[in-house]
């Protein structure tokens, strides 16, 4: 077994964090690793929001089912499927033609791209000795969560 396989096989969801910040260098490395994930047609139809403000984390924790991990973690990364960027980047070229950013295909592409990027980032974080846990409760109140993050149309947290 090599180091990569060992890291993957030893993954654990971590729900208790040290009272220690994540450095800017660590955060940049984690996000950069996420950006290197496979992506459909190189669209990278996702955005990442790093939440460090305690009050905002408290609000998001409440919306996600009162999950204390959101409040206690030093940085809460919200992985969003982002079709707004796709729409904006193609508007100048589409003219009067129908666009498909709101199609089922692109919904799946954006959701999968966000999940793949998040998984790459999770592995990178673990390789740096950081603990991670995915928060599925984000999807319990997607509209409220999106409003709290001030997300534009066609962007939703995954």
Q: How confident is the model at residue 133 (pLDDT cuts 50, 70, 90)?
A: very high
CATH 3.40.109.10 holds for 15-157: yes
**Residues 95/8, Cβ–Cβ less than 8 Å:** no
**At CA 42, angle to CA 39 and CA 46, rounded to 5?**
60
The mean pLDDT value for 134-144 works out to 93
Strand order in the sheet with 46-51: 46-51, 76-82, 155-157
Looking at mean pLDDT, say which of 1-5, 28-32, 101-105 comes out highest: 28-32
Rounded Cα distance, 140 and 92, in Å: 35
In three-state form (DSSP H/G/I as H, E/B as E, the rest C), the secondary structure along 48-103 is EEEECCHHHHHHHHHHCCCCHHHHHCCCEEEEEEECHHHHHHHHHHHCCCCCCCCC
Q: For residue 84, what are its two tokens?
A: 């707004």
- Nearest CA to 41 out of 121, 108, 124 is that of 108
Q: How confident is the model at residue 101 (pLDDT cuts 50, 70, 90)?
A: confident
Domain map (residue ranges) of the chain: 15-157
Q: Which residues pair with 78 in a beta bridge?
A: 49
């Amino acid at each position: 077994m090599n180091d990569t396989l060992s890291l993957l096989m030893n993954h654990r969801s971590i729900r208790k964090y040290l009272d220690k910040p994540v450095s800017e260098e660590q955060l940049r490395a984690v996000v950069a690793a996420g950006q290197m994930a496979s992506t459909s047609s190189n669209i990278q139809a996702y955005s990442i929001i790093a939440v460090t403000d305690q009050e905002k984390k408290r609000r998001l924790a409440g919306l996600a089912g009162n999950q204390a991990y959101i409040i206690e973690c030093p940085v809460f990364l919200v992985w969003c499927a982002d079709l707004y960027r796709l729409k904006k980047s193609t508007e100048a070229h589409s003219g009067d033609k129908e666009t498909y950013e709101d199609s089922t295909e692109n919904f799946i592409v954006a959701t999968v791209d966000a999940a793949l990027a998040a998984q790459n980032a999770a592995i990178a974080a673990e390789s740096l000795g950081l603990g991670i846990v995915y928060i599925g409760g984000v999807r319990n109140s997607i509209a409220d969560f999106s409003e709290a993050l001030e997300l534009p149309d066609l962007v939703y947290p995954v």
